[in-house]
Amino acid sequence: MSTVFLVAEKCAKIKTGSLPDSLRVVFGKMGIMGKFVLLFVMAWFFLAFFDLNFDRGVLRVYTASEAIEYDPDEGKPRLIPRAVIEYRVQDERVVSQVGDFVNKYENCTVFDRDNWTCTYSDDSATFGARQGEYFSRSNLEKFPHLANLRDEETLSRFGYIILQCRWDATGGINAIMCLIRPFTT
C-alpha cells in the first residue's frame, strides 16, 4: 500500500503552473481526491494494456475457455479466464509455469524467445510462439477425439483483465476485485 500513498502524495504536490495548458485545465479544478482518482484510472488502463514483464526471457499467455453451460440470458460471459501461463526458453527446451506447477518440454525447436515450437511427447498437439504471439494446434489426424474439446482462446492482456472484471461483476461484492486486477495479474 505504500505505493498508493506515494502516488497520493505526488498528486497533492502537483502545481498547476508547472503543467502543460491541457493538463492545467484538468488538474487546476480538481481537489486532491480527484487528482488521485484520475491518476489511479490512468495507471489502471496503462497496466491493463501493458504487461510490465521485466523478465525479458518470459512469454506470458492469457487464455480463456468456453463455459460448458453457457446461457446468454444469465448475463455471464461466454468465456472463463484460465490461469496465466508463463513460458521460458532455456537452450533448446521450453519450461512452462502455471502457478507453482512447472513443466519442461524437450521436443522443441527454438530460435529465440519470440519464435519457437514444441510438440507434446504423445504428439497430440504443437504449440509455440511466432513473433511473440502464442499459438496451439491439436493433431486431429492422430487424435480425432480432440476435435470435440471446447476451444481455448488466446487473449490480449487487456481482454483477459476485462474478462476477469466481467466475471467479478457477476459475484456481488467481488466486483471490487476489478479495481486491482491490472496490479495483480
Taking only the tens place, the pLDDT of each residue in 92-139 is 889 999 988 999 998 888 888 889 999 888 878 888 999 988 888 777
Domain match, 21 and 76 both: no
pLDDT at residue 91 above 50? yes
Cell of 141: 489426424
pLDDT bucket at 32, cuts 50 / 70 / 90: confident
Domain match, 152 and 83 both: yes
Beta-carbon contacts of 35 under 8 Å, excluding residues fewer than 6 positions away, are: 11, 12, 14, 27
The angle subtended at Cα 129 by Cα 83 and Cα 63, nearest 5°, is 20
pLDDT at residue 6 above 70? no
pLDDT of residue 145: 62
Question: pTM for this structure?
Answer: 0.72
Domain match, 77 and 140 both: yes
Domain match, 76 and 19 both: no
User: Higher pLDDT residue, 58 or 13?
Assistant: 58
User: Mean per-residue pLDDT for 80-102?
Assistant: 88
Domain match, 40 and 84 both: no
pLDDT at residue 57 above 90? no
Domain match, 120 and 168 both: yes
Residue type, 5: F
pLDDT of residue 2: 46
Domain match, 90 and 32 both: no
| DSSP string over 121-183 | TTSSEEEEEETTEEEEEE-TTT-GGGGGSPPEEEE-HHHHHHHHHHHHHTTGGGGGGGGGHHH
User: Higher pLDDT residue, 7 or 114?
Assistant: 114
pLDDT bucket at 34, cuts 50 / 70 / 90: confident
Task: Count other Cβ atoms within 10 Å, centred on residue 132.
Answer: 10
Domain match, 136 and 66 both: yes
Domain match, 36 and 91 both: no
Residue type, 183: F
Domain match, 92 and 159 both: yes
Domain boundary among 13, 29, 49: 49
β-pair type (58-66, 79-81): antiparallel
Residue 50 DSSP class: S
User: Mean per-residue pLDDT for 51-61?
Assistant: 80
Range of the structural domain that residue 45 is part of: 2-49
**How many distinct structural domains can be found in the chain?**
2
pLDDT of residue 66: 83
pLDDT at residue 64 above 80? yes
